[in-house]
Structure 1
Amino acid sequence: MAALVPICAAAAEERVTILAVHYPPFEMEEPIDGLRGFDYEVVLEAFKRAGIEAEIQFVPWKRAMSDVENGQATGALSCADSPERSDLFFISDKISEENYGLYTRKGFKGPVLSNIADVAGVAVAAVSGYAIFDELNSADAVAIPLADDLSGLNMLDVERFNYLYAGRRNNDFLIKQHGLSGKFDFTEFRSINYHVCFSKVYPGINDILRAFNKGLAEVRADGTYQAIHSKYR
């Protein structure tokens, strides 16, 4: 199928930069079993359909958010929408979704928390800078900041805390990869959609966003999206 004609001069003349963190199986800094992540593949393919050359660079998440907000990069993935982020970024159409909830140690006998309202006054860990960390603060939890998801799993395993708020697909992947299978239970709270968060001040961003969403719709419509995701099951 022919690629879309580039719809803005800025997109045609330069490579756009999308920032990400290592967040398997959504995006991986280095290939794992020859794969780079389903969001990684979908986003690059959507830009390709739009006639825009794109590269994905891996940086810490707080830097990604700062660089995109300041227009030093075009966008960031995989990015959950929130009122705060909608104020700072243009949000693309949905690229994927993740189920979020609480991990506890297998056999943990403490209180069962079944939804976000239950975390009020409870110490719960999450990666600092993620939208879910802000969600914990809004729910009046005692939010424990983490550097990354794997650190959270390891700290939960050695009883540094009792509750880890995190995404299931990402953390189940890490659990399997790092020999932690059978050590945790998971209680799902809700599903969160992921997007690309685009800079509001990047040159030509309105045309880039429109072209990306059009390319993404084409990727979904012709079966490419499903074919990419099928490789990760």
Structure 2
Amino acid sequence: MRTRWIAIVIGLVSVMGNCQAGELRFVTEDFPPFTYASPTDPDGAAGPLVEIVAAVCARLHTDCPVQLLPWRRALAEAEDGAAQGIFTVIRSPDRERALYLTRELVTSRYGVYARSTNRLVYHRPENLAGRTVAVYGPSGTSFVLGQQLTAVDNVTVSLVANNRRLLRMLAAGRFGEQGIAVVNQDVAWHLIDQERIADIHETGVMQPVSYAIGFSRASVSEAEFDQFNAALEALIADRSVTAILKRHGLEPAF
């Protein structure tokens, strides 16, 4: 398999010269530990997904700047073609209509979080009936939460602009004594530690989630996507992608 993907990459690079001379612009969001602001570039991004994109682009001899933006703006730029690539993306009908998606690269879980005084033990969506549920959104997380709550009555969903603010609001009791938050587990643990947020605990896990890299159907041809994807698969085959994720304490999805 490794030899096959390397052969594909060599063939594509020799046939398609446009990526060697061109540029693929990527956008992402502040979503630590997956992506976060670069310590050296105020407009740039860092993190394991940025490193994976950089490794693929180095193999293709393509310049791939990555800009950190609010998620709604990042998604709008990818959908209308102003940006060629975007991450982190979950697989959904809306995303696949606008984007070509790589295979899922990193996996995590959606956790359910509450204040220490809240005795909720989460097992199933019905446990959230009668509560305020806070979630970062609009986002993949809020999309999944909406699916989970389809058959649950008397739930108030509160959308918050980013996960840092969401967890601080939860700790401050802004969603009520019985309020809870649904957050990516790796993001929650990272921010609780980094921001020193006290009096929050995990009450259960809602479901697994995995993330891919998306490419704009409006500004990237299928052949260009296939070229990037083949180089990515070669880096998966030689375990370079696994090494990047493991170095950041994250779990590969493959």
TM-score normalised according to structure 2 size = 0.81
CA distance in 2, matches of 1:108, 1:121: 14
Match for residue 56 of structure 1? Answer: 66
Which amino acid counterpart does residue 168 of structure 1 have in structure 2?
Q
Q: Which amino acid aligns with 1:26?
A: F
Query: Within 5 Å, which residues of 2 pair with 1:172-187?
Result: 172-180=189-197, 183-187=200-204
Partner residue in 1 for 2:23: 15
Q: How far apart in 1 are the matches of 2:194 and 2:102?
A: 31
Encode CA deviations 1:177-221: one digit per residue, 9 max, x unaligned: 11125632241111111011211110x431221122111111121
Contact 1:99 / 1:188 at 8 angstroms: preserved in 2?
yes
Instruction: Tell me the residue number matched to 2:168.
Output: 154
SS of match in other structure, 2:118: coil
Identity of aligned residues (%): 22
The match for 1:220 is 236
Q: How far did 1:116 drift?
A: 3.8
| Runs (5+) with no aligned partner, structure 2 | 1-5, 250-254
CA root-mean-square deviation: 2.4
Measure, in 2, the Cα distance between the counterparts of 1:7 and 1:120.
Answer: 57
Q: Give yes or no for the alignment of 1:136 onto 2:145.
A: yes
CA contact (8 A) 1:198 1:205 kept: no
Contact 1:89 1:199 in 2 (8 A): yes
Counterpart of 2:31, as a letter, is Y
Cα distance change, pair 92–214 in 1 and its aligned pair in 2 (3 A): same
Q: Distance in 2 between matches of 1:87 and 1:191?
A: 23
Relative to structure 1, the CA distance from residue 106 to residue 205 in structure 2 (aligned partners, 3 Å threshold; closer, same or farther) is farther
Q: Residue 142 and residue 62 in structure 1: after superposition, are their counterparts in 2 closer, same or farther (change >3 A)?
A: same
Contact 2:79 2:218 in 1 (8 A): yes
Rg larger in structure: 2
Cα offset, 1:173, TM superposition:
0.7
Q: Please give the secondary structure, in 2, of the residue aligned with 1:143.
A: strand
- 1:93 corresponds in structure 2 to 103
Deviations 1:7-45 (A, max 9, x none): 53442232111100111111121239xx93111111221
In 2: Cα distance, 1:198 partner to 1:120 partner = 38
Q: Aligned partners of 1:227 and 1:54: how far apart in 2?
A: 21
Moved more, 85-94 or 74-83: 85-94
* Closer/same/farther in 2, CA of residues 95 and 149 from structure 1, 3 Å limit: same
Matched letter for residue 129 of structure 1 = P
More displaced 10-residue stretch of structure 1: 42-51 or 122-131: 42-51
Structure 1: give runs of 5+ residues left out of the alignment.
Answer: none
Q: Does 1:208 align with 2:221?
A: no
Q: Is the Cα–Cα contact under 8 Å of residues 121 and 203 in structure 2 kept in the other structure?
A: no
1:207 and 1:55 map into 2 onto residues whose CA distance is 21
The aligned counterpart of 1:66 is 76
Which shifted more, 47-56 or 1-10?
1-10
User: Which amino acid counterpart does residue 230 of structure 1 have in structure 2?
Assistant: K
- Residues 93 and 227 (structure 1 numbering): CA distance in 2 closer, same or farther, change over 3 Å? same
Which residue number in structure 1 is paired with residue 187 of structure 2? 170
Q: CA–CA distance in 1 between the matches of 2:167 and 2:237?
A: 37
Are residues 6 and 30 of structure 1, via their aligned partners in 2, closer, same or farther at CA, if it must alter by over 3 Å?
Answer: farther
Pairwise CA distance, 1:113: 3.2
**TM-score, structure 1 normalization:** 0.88
Pick the aligned partner of 1:123 from 132, 137, 144: 132
Does 1:114 find its partner at 2:162? no
Cα distance between partner residues in 2 of 1:127 and 1:115:
20
TM-superposed deviation, 1:83: 1.7
1:143 is aligned with what amino acid?
V
- Aligned residue type for 2:146: N
